[in-house]
Homo-oligomer: A and B are copies of this chain.
Amino acid sequence: MTTRTGPGPRERLLEAGRELTYRQGVGIGVDALLKAANVARRSLYEHFGGKDGLIAEVLRRSTSEDEEHYRQTMRSAGDDPRARLLAVFDRLAEIVDEPDFRGCRYLAADLALTDPGHPGHAVTRDYRERVHRLLEDELIRLGHAEPAVAADQLLLLIDGVMAAGATRPRTRPAASARRLAEHVLDGR
């Protein structure tokens, strides 16, 4: 008989952080995090050194998941690079339409974390680089003349979809962006 041992406090903190920092922003209080995670105050400081450490780790884990999410979305779209890139925008349409979509958590974190030295910034910067590389690789396979610039443009469209999705949800921004993305893919 195995002792019904669920996820440990570290895991529960990361999950609570993921949820609460998205819904309430990174300004969420330590008390609220501890209560949601059902974890002793001390455990937070043992595992993460403090609130900033937890937030950075929450962001890091989230970026890993989201990057894998990009890869999975493209994988499901087959081999054609064009189809794989456009699939990203189709998936974005679903994400933005989810009832509790609250915008891009990384942009929100960057705007909310006033201190430019906060460890969270390095995490989001890394993430954007990785996604850029992901897009650029597909554009190269597509034979695009300026894959780096085109990847910048696709990233800009993705951020625009997230922003519009958070502030003007009824305008179906992902569909708009998809059409513009097609134009980007068509060349330069």
> How many copies of the polypeptide does the oligomer hold?
2
> In A80-127, which residues have CB < 8 Å from any B CB?
102-104, 106-108, 110-112, 114, 124-125
Identify the stretch in A8-16, A53-61, A147-155 within 8 Å (CB) of chain B at 4 or more residues: A147-155
- Separation in Å of the A15 CB from the closest CB of chain B? 20
For the complex, give the distance between the alpha carbons of A123 and B102 in Å. Answer: 18
Inter-chain contacts of A161 with B (CB < 8 A): 156, 160
The complex places the Cα of A171 from the Cα of B135 at a distance, in Å, of 15
Nearest Cβ distance between residue A172 and chain B, in whole angstroms?
Answer: 8
Docked CA distance A27–B25 (Å): 11
Residues from chain B with a CB closer than 8 A to the CB of A163 are 104, 107, 156, 159-160, 162-163
Give Cα distance in the complex from A143 to B117, angstroms. 49
- Interchain residue pairs with CB less than 8 A apart (9): A24-B114, A27-B112, A102-B111, A103-B110, A156-B161, A160-B163, A162-B163, A163-B163, A180-B183
